[in-house]
Amino acid sequence: MTRIGLLRVIAALTAIVTALLLQGSVVAPLVAPTPVSLPAVLVAAVALVDGPGAGLALGFSAGLVADLTTRHPVGVLALAWLLVGVFCGALAVPRVEVSLGAVNPTPVRHVLMRDAVIAAVACAASSLGAALLLTALGKDGAMLTPAFAHLLPTLAGDAVLAVPVVVLARMMLRWAHLRAPAASAVVSAHG
């Protein structure tokens, strides 16, 4: 494993643990009973920058860690967040560094807002999907009526979280020490 690869793994583990701790200590108590999910938003944000492979890996890892700390069947959040990562990664805008003099047709703020909306929709849908799966498995307390009733508040809460998380994820993943070497391409205005 290369030095950059090791740093990316350490950064991913740190991000997962931090998001789960903030979810349990700050986000969940503030928005209860609405299932707003900071870890899912993080998965979406990373996938929107680094693509479906990173989204799949981070989604499964974060979901599995979260599953192991809850009382519901292991694998529900791992599957839901894995799908968030793959979906958002498939919609990722290719990472391109623009050299001086190049014209960027899409302003950065439009990309950030687009990514925040995609992240919020994907995370709200994964929350509903997890509730459907838990209901299908017959898990105690899982009901469809509250899941549908909380859909719009969940979407709004995920959107509020997505704006800063998308910005931070994009900044961190473009940092030279964490940038994937094969993921960047230089576009020249002259060529």
The per-residue pLDDT for 189 is: 42
Measure the N-to-C terminal CA separation of the chain; round to a whole number of Å: 34
With a cut of 50, say whether residue 97 has pLDDT above it.
Answer: no
The more confident residue out of 96 and 90 is 90
With a cut of 90, say whether residue 137 has pLDDT above it.
Answer: no
pLDDT band at 111 (very low <50, low <70, confident <90, very high): confident
The per-residue pLDDT for 98 is: 37
Q: Identify whether the C-beta of residue 14 lies closer than 8 Å to the C-beta of residue 168.
A: no
pLDDT band at 84 (very low <50, low <70, confident <90, very high): very high
pLDDT band at 141 (very low <50, low <70, confident <90, very high): low
Q: CA–CA distance from 144 to each of 83, 135, 139 (Å)? A: 20, 7, 12
With a cut of 70, say whether residue 113 has pLDDT above it.
Answer: yes
The per-residue pLDDT for 180 is: 59
Report which of 144, 145, 93, 150 is spatially closest to residue 123, judged by C-alpha positions. Answer: 150
pTM for the model stands at 0.84
pLDDT band at 182 (very low <50, low <70, confident <90, very high): low
Q: CA–CA distance from 146 to each of 55, 102, 120 (Å)? A: 28, 50, 19
